[in-house]
C-alpha cells in the first residue's frame, strides 16, 4: 500500500507541474464593429495564440501556438491585422481556424530599417467611399534627411496650428512616420511633427468621422498631444492639425484611443480614492464638435477602479467599449456604453482558463512526458515482478535474437504507425503556406513548441504503438515484425510473458525513443548480457530466435537443468 501512496504523490506532483499556466505572457487587444480579438504572446519563446469574440457571440480560440512575436494589432470588420517584430512581417487572420494570409513584408523605401510599428488602425480614405485601409505609425530616432528624399508632412492649417513645424523635422529626438497599406505594399505618407521626449514616445492611432487621429505621449506623465488629418488620395501627404486637449487637464492621463462610428474616444486613467488603484474616464468627441464629453466608467452609481498594475485593456466592439482585465486567477470581460460610461455586462472570460490540450503542443508534450514517467515509475513500484532469481535466466537451447533482425522487425512494426500519423496530420492540420510549414518545422527542430494537432498526433501514434506491441506479445509472443523475422519474446527461464510484463517492456519504448541520443536504445542491447533493452531489464524479458519447427522450449516442457542448477540455465554470450 505504501508504494501506491508514493505513486499517487508522484502523480499529483506531476499534474501540478504540468498544469502550471505560462508566465510572462503579453496580451494585445483589438476590436472592430464586428468582433474583438485577444492575442496572447510569449516573446521569449516567440509563440502566440489568438482568440476572437464576435458581436453577440462567445469566445473561441482561432489559432494556437503559432510562431512569431506580435508587435501591434488592429481589427477591421471580422479580420485581425497583425504586425510582427520579425522584420515587420505582416499577416491578416480571419475568424475561423486556419483562415490566415501568407506573411507580407513592408515594401516602402522609407520604412525605417529594424523599426516596428507603434500602432495600427483601419481607416477609410477620403475620395474612396466604402474602402478601408490599414495605417501604421512607426517611431524612429530623428536624423537629418537629405533634401529631396522621402515625403514631408505638409504645414498644418493656420486655423489650428501645430505646436511644431509640420515639415521635415529640423529638431527633436523622435519622428513618427505614417504609412498606409495599399495592396501588398506600404506607402509612406509623411511624418508627424517631431516629438521631444526622453524615451521612445507612446503612439496611438484611431479613425472616426473620416478623420485619422494620432495621440502622442501621455501614459508616462509627459504632456499628451492629439493630431488630426483627413486622408485624401492614397498617396497624398497628410495635412495634420493639432486638437486642443486643454479640457483634459486634471481629469487623467490618456492611456488608449479608438473610434466608434463618428465618435472619437480617449480613455483616461485617473487616481481613485485608494492611491494604489486607478479609475477610467471616457472622453468622447463627436464628429464635427470641438468639445469633449466625460463619462466615468462605473458599475451603478460608483466608479469602477482597478489596481494600478493591472489596468484593463480596451477596444471597440460594435457600439460598445470592451474591457478585459485580470482578477485573481481569472480574467474578466465587460462592455461599457460610451454614451454614459456604464458597465452593461461583466462576466468571466472562460476562454482564458485553458486546459493543457488548448495551450498548444508544448502543454500536450509536458503532460505526455509526465504521463510516461509515471507509467514507468508505477510499474517499478507496484507491478514489477519479483522472480526467484535476481538475475535473468536464458534457457540453454535458446539464443538472443540477432540485433539486425530485431531492427528490421522494429521498422516493420513502426512504419504503419508513422503512416497513420501522417494521415492524421493531413486531416487535422489546416492548409498552410510554405512559409508557415517552414517556420513550424524550424521551431520544432529547435526545441520550441509545435501546434497541438501535431503533438496530439505524435502522442496518439506512440500510444497506439505501445498498445499494439503489448497485445501481440501477450497473446502470441511476438509482433508481426518479429514473426516475419522469426523472433519472439520470452520471460526469465523461457516462460511466456504475461500481459503485465509485456506492458512494462513496451511502455519503456517511449522514453527510449525520446532520449536525446537516439542510438542509446540500440547501444544498450549491444552491451547487455542477453541483448536486452531497458524495458527488457525492468520486465525480466528478452527477444530470442524462434525455436525451429518441432523443437520444444522449456515453457513447453522440454527444458533441462542448466549448469547453474536452474531449469534451462544458460551462460551469457561472450562479447557485447
Q: What is the pLDDT of residue 392?
A: 80
7-21, 205-219, 541-555 — which is least confidently predicted? 7-21
pLDDT at position 527 is: 82
In angstroms, the CA 513 to CA 405 distance is 18
- Average pLDDT of the segment spanning 527-537: 85
Q: What is the pLDDT of residue 55?
A: 82
- Number of Cβ within a 10 Å radius of residue 380: 12
* Residue 285 clears pLDDT 80, i.e. is over it: yes
pLDDT at 15: 41
**% the chain with pLDDT above 70:** 64
pLDDT value of residue 515: 66
Q: Say what the pLDDT of residue 524 is.
A: 80
Average pLDDT score over the chain: 74
Lowest mean pLDDT among 261-265, 396-400, 451-455: 451-455
Distance between first and last Cα of the chain: 40
- Range with lowest mean pLDDT among 279-293, 413-427, 550-564: 550-564
Whether pLDDT at 571 is above 80 = no
Neighbours of 274 (CB within 10 A): 11
Question: 402, 414, 372, 404: which is closest to 542 by C-alpha?
Answer: 402
The separation between CA 1 and the C-alpha centre of its own chain, rounded to angstroms, equals 42
pLDDT of 471 above 80: yes
The band of 398, judged by pLDDT with boundaries at 50, 70 and 90, is confident
More confident call, 118 vs 364: 118
Residue 279 — pLDDT band, cuts 50, 70, 90? very high
Supply 544's cell numbers: 530470442
131's CB contacts (< 8 A; 6+ apart) are 124, 125
Cα separation, 30 vs 121, whole angstroms: 9
- Does position 6 have pLDDT exceeding 80, yes or no? no
Check pLDDT > 50 for residue 538.
yes
Q: 431: burial class by Cβ within 10 Å (0-12, 13-18, 19+)?
A: exposed
Contacts of 262 (CB under 8 A, 6+ apart): 208, 209, 286, 287
- Of 134-148, 228-242, 387-401, 412-426, the poorest mean pLDDT is in 134-148
Q: Model confidence at 378, in pLDDT bands (50, 70, 90)?
A: low
Buried b (16+ CB within 10 A) or exposed e, 286-299: eeeeeebeebbbbe
Residue 536 confidence (pLDDT) above 60:
yes
For 78, 475, 494, 509, 544, the CA distances from 481, given in Å and listed in that order, are 53, 15, 20, 16, 13
Mean pLDDT across 62-73? 81
Predicted confidence (pLDDT) at residue 483 exceeds the cutoff of 90: yes
Ranges 57-71, 203-217, 426-440: which has the least confidence = 426-440
Lowest-confidence pick of 144-153, 234-243, 309-318, 404-413: 144-153
- What is the rounded average pLDDT of the residues 270-291? 87
| pLDDT at position 326 over 90 | no
Distance CA 210, CA 516 (A): 59
| 69-102 pLDDT per residue, tens | 888 899 888 889 888 876 567 788 888 766 666 6
Confidence label for 470 from pLDDT (cuts 50, 70 and 90)? very high
pLDDT at residue number 98: 63
* pTM as predicted: 0.60
Average of per-residue pLDDT across 292-305: 90
pLDDT at 19: 40
> What's the pLDDT at 355?
43
Question: Given phi > 0 = left and psi -120 to 50 = alpha, else beta, which region is 184?
Answer: alpha
pLDDT at 239 (0 to 100): 87
Instruction: Name every residue whose Cβ is closer than 8 Å to that of residue 346 and which is 6 or more positions away in sequence.
Output: 299, 332, 333, 334
Lowest mean pLDDT among 2-16, 167-181, 214-228, 465-479: 2-16
- pLDDT for position 473: 94
Confidence of residue 140 (pLDDT cuts 50, 70, 90): confident
Mean pLDDT within 329-355: 76
**Residue ranges of domains in the chain:** 250-354, 384-556
C-beta separation of 488 from 478 below 8 A: yes
Would the pLDDT of 283 be above 70?
yes
pLDDT at 116: 73
Q: What's the grid cell of residue 179?
A: 504609412
Residue 155 near residue 161 (C-beta atoms within 8 A): no
Q: Picking from 170-174, 499-503, 512-516, 565-569, which range would have the lowest pLDDT averaged per residue? A: 565-569
Higher-confidence residue of 329 and 21: namely 329
Mean pLDDT of 512-519: 64
More confident residue, 152 or 493: 493
Report how far residue 167's alpha carbon sits from residue 432's, in angstroms, rounded to the nearest whole number.
44
Higher pLDDT, 574 or 419: 419
Confidence band of 132 (pLDDT split at 50, 70, 90): low
Amino acid at each position: 500500500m505504501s508504494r501506491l501512496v508514493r505513486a499517487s504523490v508522484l502523480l499529483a506532483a506531476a499534474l501540478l507541474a504540468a498544469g502550471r499556466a505560462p508566465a510572462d505572457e503579453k496580451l494585445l487587444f483589438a476590436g472592430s464593429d464586428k468582433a474583438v480579438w485577444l492575442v496572447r504572446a510569449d516573446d521569449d519563446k516567440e509563440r502566440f495564440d489568438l482568440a476572437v469574440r464576435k458581436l453577440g457571440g462567445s469566445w473561441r480560440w482561432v489559432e494556437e501556438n503559432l510562431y512569431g512575436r506580435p508587435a501591434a494589432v488592429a481589427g477591421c470588420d471580422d479580420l485581425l491585422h497583425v504586425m510582427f517584430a520579425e522584420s515587420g512581417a505582416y499577416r491578416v487572420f480571419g475568424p475561423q481556424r486556419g483562415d490566415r494570409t501568407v506573411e507580407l513584408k513592408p515594401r516602402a523605401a522609407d520604412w525605417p530599417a529594424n523599426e516596428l510599428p507603434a500602432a495600427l488602425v483601419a481607416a477609410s480614405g477620403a475620395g474612396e467611399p466604402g474602402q478601408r485601409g490599414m495605417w501604421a505609425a512607426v517611431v524612429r530616432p530623428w536624423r537629418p534627411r537629405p533634401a529631396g528624399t522621402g515625403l514631408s508632412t505638409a504645414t498644418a492649417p493656420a486655423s489650428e496650428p501645430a505646436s511644431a513645424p509640420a515639415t521635415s523635422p529640423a529638431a527633436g529626438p523622435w519622428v513618427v512616420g505614417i504609412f498606409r497599406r495599399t495592396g501588398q505594399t506600404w506607402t509612406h505618407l509623411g511624418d508627424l511633427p517631431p516629438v521631444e521626449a526622453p524615451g521612445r514616445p507612446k503612439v496611438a492611432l484611431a479613425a472616426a468621422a473620416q478623420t485619422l487621429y494620432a495621440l502622442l505621449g501621455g501614459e508616462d506623465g509627459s504632456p499628451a498631444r492629439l493630431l488630426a488629418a483627413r486622408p485624401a488620395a492614397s498617396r497624398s501627404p497628410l495635412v495634420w492639425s493639432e486638437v486642443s486637449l486643454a479640457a483634459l487637464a486634471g481629469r487623467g492621463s490618456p492611456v488608449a484611443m479608438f473610434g466608434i462610428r463618428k465618435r472619437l474616444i480617449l480613455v483616461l486613467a485617473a487616481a481613485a480614492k485608494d492611491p494604489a488603484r486607478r479609475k477610467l474616464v471616457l472622453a468622447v468627441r463627436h464628429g464635427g464638435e470641438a468639445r469633449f464629453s466625460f463619462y466615468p466608467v462605473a458599475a451603478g452609481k460608483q466608479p469602477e477602479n482597478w489596481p494600478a498594475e493591472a489596468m484593463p485593456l480596451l477596444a471597440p466592439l460594435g457600439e460598445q467599449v470592451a474591457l478585459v482585465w485580470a482578477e485573481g486567477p481569472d480574467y474578466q470581460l465587460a462592455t461599457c456604453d460610451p454614451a454614459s460610461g456604464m458597465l452593461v455586462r461583466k462576466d468571466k472570460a472562460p476562454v482564458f482558463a485553458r486546459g493543457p490540450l488548448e495551450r498548444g503542443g508544448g502543454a500536450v508534450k509536458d503532460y505526455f512526458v509526465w504521463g510516461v514517467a509515471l507509467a514507468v515509475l508505477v510499474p517499478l513500484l507496484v507491478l514489477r515482478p519479483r522472480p526467484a532469481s535476481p538475475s535473468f535466466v536464458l534457457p540453454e537451447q535458446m539464443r538472443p535474437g540477432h540485433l539486425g533482425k530485431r531492427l528490421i522487425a522494429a521498422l516493420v512494426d513502426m512504419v504503419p504507425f508513422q503512416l497513420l500519423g501522417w494521415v492524421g496530420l493531413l486531416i487535422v492540420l489546416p492548409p498552410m503556406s510554405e512559409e508557415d510549414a517552414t517556420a513550424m518545422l524550424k521551431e520544432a527542430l529547435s526545441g520550441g513548441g509545435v501546434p497541438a494537432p501535431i503533438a496530439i498526433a505524435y502522442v496518439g501514434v506512440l500510444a497506439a504503438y505501445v498498445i499494439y506491441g503489448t497485445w501481440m506479445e501477450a497473446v502470441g509472443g511476438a509482433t508481426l515484425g518479429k514473426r516475419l523475422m522469426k523472433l519472439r519474446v520470452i520471460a526469465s527461464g523461457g516462460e511466456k510473458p504475461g500481459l503485465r510484463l509485456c506492458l512494462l517492456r513496451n511502455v519503456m519504448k517511449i522514453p527510449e525513443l525520446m532520449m536525446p541520443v537516439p542510438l542509446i536504445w540500440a547501444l544498450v542491447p549491444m552491451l547487455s548480457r542477453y541483448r536486452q533493452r531497458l524495458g527488457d531489464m525492468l520486465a525480466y524479458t528478452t527477444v530470442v530466435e524462434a525455436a525451429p519447427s518441432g523443437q520444444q522450449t522449456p515453457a513447453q516442457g522440454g527444458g533441462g537443468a542448466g549448469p547453474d542448477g536452474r531449469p534451462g540455465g544458460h551462460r551469457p554470450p561472450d562479447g557485447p
